[in-house]
């Protein structure tokens, strides 16, 4: 590793020097809209040479997944080193080199539940942006009640034959592989008969159909499985104990959604965001709502930091992550209502001067639904954290 880890000052200096040398100027524009994200994958088309160069140089040094072990393609950073890395990225307004469901969700699940062979096999292609993953969780009959999934896998000795339907599969039409919750024991209680399976979206019998949303975009798909063969070694954790993996992974998903890392104006002063869009905040209600949102945003961001510090200190966060998800997503919706209000009639046009704002605003409405609704989060807190009676 090209970084001196003997003390934080040297480490920071090395990171700074490395970024000065390796981060392309075009990637230092602080742009983190949905359109500028690098997702990677077999079919990925880079938006610029700079985007490709930035991904590759980071991947070579483990910096797309800085906290993962080096042997699996990470940089092996501890929490303090990760903070320095992120703060130095922030200092120069650099984009993240790569974002993906593999990084946010499957990776953490594999690191926790996977075998050494599985980690060696699946993790490095994620860190290099070669394989793009999607998540097969929800079904038409299994939304908030996720454990009632009906997609089933029939045991055929060395493989399962999978049949069923998933819905709200994010970017399934662009993904290379899927991690899915499949019922492998239909007679067991609903939480005890699910397995966590991995398979290639190019497998015979897999098809996807994008769902057009109120925003006009189609980030989600319906995904169909018709006699899909899945080899027995493509399971994470134990057969029929996939719910444990799913729950663990949902925790990560909640932390990710709460972070709003790619949300409009994330981490920037709301005043600046609004001023850049041409608003002088002279109207009393707009100004007071902007300040109130800013206060809540700073407070929630500190809470995410505090929980990460706690997790890094070995004290699990567990069910309390439901709070991060709840607070973060409700805040993001509130902020976008503010942006729309500030935008006035200009923000009512799909192709107006506010750019993707109307579509982004509509997109945020899903934040408090996906990954467990706000109401499910509150129920988790009340039962598992506060111990209120069922």
Partner 1 sequence: MTNLTLNEDETMLVDSARGFLDEASPVEKFRELRDAGKAYNPELWKQMADLGWTGVLVPEDQGGIDMGHAAANLLAQEMGKTLVSSPFISTAVMAATALRQVADNPRAAEALGKIASGDLTYALALDEGVKHAPNNTQMQAERVGNGFSLSGEKTFVVDGGSADRLLVLARTGDDDGALTLFDIPADRDGITRTAQNMIDARDSAQISFEGVEATGEDVVGTVDQAMSVLSPALRAGQAALAAEMTGLSSGAFGMTVSYLQERKQFGVLIGQFQALQHRAAHLWSDIEVATSTIANAGRMMDEDPENATLAVSLAKAKACQTAKLAVMEGVQMHGGIGMTDAFDMGFFMKRARVAQEWLGDYGYHAEQIAKIKGY
Out of 29, 309, 348, 349, the residue judged to bind partner 1 by CB under 8 A: 309
Asked if 254 and 320 touch (Cβ cutoff 8 Å), the reply is: no
Distance (Å, rounded) from C-alpha 239 to C-alpha 34?
A: 36
Q: Does 91 bind partner 1 (CB under 8 A)?
A: no
Among the listed ranges 99-107, 247-255, 294-302, 334-342, the one in contact with partner 1 (CB under 8 A) is 294-302
Smallest gap from Cβ 356 to partner 1, in A, equals: 25
Name the residue nearer to partner 1 (CB basis): 20 or 298.
298
What three-state secondary structure class fits 254? helix
Q: How many CB atoms lie within 10 A of CB 71?
A: 13
Q: Does 310 bind partner 1 (CB under 8 A)?
A: yes
Smallest gap from Cβ 317 to partner 1, in A, equals: 11
DSSP 12-32: HHHHHHHHHHHS-GGG-S---
Smallest gap from Cβ 52 to partner 1, in A, equals: 32
Distance (Å, rounded) from C-alpha 69 to C-alpha 258?
A: 25
Using alpha carbons, select from 114, 63, 104, 82 the residue that is nearest to residue 12: 82
Token match 């997944």: residue? 65
Q: Which residues contact 143 (CB under 8 A, 6 or more apart)?
A: none
Distance (Å, rounded) from C-alpha 300 to C-alpha 298?
A: 6
Among the listed ranges 94-102, 119-127, 217-225, 265-273, the one in contact with partner 1 (CB under 8 A) is 265-273
Smallest gap from Cβ 179 to partner 1, in A, equals: 29
Active site residue 21: no
Catalytic residue among 88, 139, 253, 289: 253
Smallest gap from Cβ 200 to partner 1, in A, equals: 40
Binding residues for partner 1, total number by CB under 8 A: 46
What three-state secondary structure class fits 114? coil
Distance (Å, rounded) from C-alpha 159 to C-alpha 228?
A: 10
Name the residue nearer to partner 1 (CB basis): 302 or 348.
302
Out of 17, 120, 214, 292, the residue judged to bind partner 1 by CB under 8 A: 292
Q: Which residues are near partner 1 by CB under 8 A?
A: 8, 80, 83-84, 269-272, 275, 281, 287-288, 290-292, 294-296, 298-300, 302-303, 305-306, 309-310, 313, 315, 320, 323, 326-327, 375, 377-379, 381-383, 385-390
Which residues are tagged catalytic? 253
């Amino acid at each position: 590793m090209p970084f001196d880890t003997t003390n934080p000052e040297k480490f920071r200096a090395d990171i700074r020097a490395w970024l000065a040398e390796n981060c392309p100027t075009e990637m230092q524009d602080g742009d983190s809209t949905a359109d500028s994200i690098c997702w990677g994958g077999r079919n990925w088309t880079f938006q610029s040479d700079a985007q490709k160069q930035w991904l590759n140089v980071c991947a070579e040094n483990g910096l797309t997944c800085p906290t993962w072990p080096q042997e699996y393609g990470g940089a092996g950073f501890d929490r303090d080193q990760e903070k320095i890395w992120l703060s130095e990225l922030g200092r120069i307004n650099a984009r993240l080199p790569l974002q993906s469901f593999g990084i946010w969700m499957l990776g953490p699940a594999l690191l926790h539940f996977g075998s050494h062979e599985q980690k060696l096999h699946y993790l490095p292609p994620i860190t290099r942006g070669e394989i793009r993953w999607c998540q097969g969780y929800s079904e038409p009959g299994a939304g908030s009640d996720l454990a009632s999934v009906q997609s089933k896998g029939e045991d055929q000795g060395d493989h399962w034959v999978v049949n069923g339907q998933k819905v709200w599969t994010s970017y399934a039409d662009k993904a290379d592989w899927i991690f899915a919750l499949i019922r492998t024991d239909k007679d067991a209680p609903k939480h005890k008969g699910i397995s966590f399976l991995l398979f290639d979206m190019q497998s015979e019998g897999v098809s996807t159909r994008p769902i057009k949303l109120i925003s006009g975009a189609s980030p989600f798909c319906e995904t169909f499985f018709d006699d899909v063969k899945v080899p027995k070694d493509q399971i994470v954790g134990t057969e029929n104990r996939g719910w444990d993996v799913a729950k663990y992974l949902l925790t990560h998903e909640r932390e990710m959604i709460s972070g709003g890392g790619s949300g409009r104006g994330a981490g920037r002063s709301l005043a600046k965001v609004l001023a850049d869009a041409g608003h002088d905040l002279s109207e009393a209600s707009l100004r007071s709502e902007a300040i109130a949102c800013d206060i809540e945003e700073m407070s929630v961001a500190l809470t995410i930091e505090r929980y990460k510090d706690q997790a890094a200190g070995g004290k699990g966060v567990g069910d309390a992550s439901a709070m991060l998800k709840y607070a973060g997503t409700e805040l993001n919706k509130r902020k976008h209502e503010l942006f729309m209000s500030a935008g006035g009639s200009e923000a009512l046009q799909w192709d107006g001067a506010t750019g993707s704002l109307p579509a982004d605003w509509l997109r945020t409405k899903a934040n408090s639904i996906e990954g467990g609704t706000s109401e499910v989060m509150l129920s988790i807190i009340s039962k598992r954290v506060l111990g209120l009676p069922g």
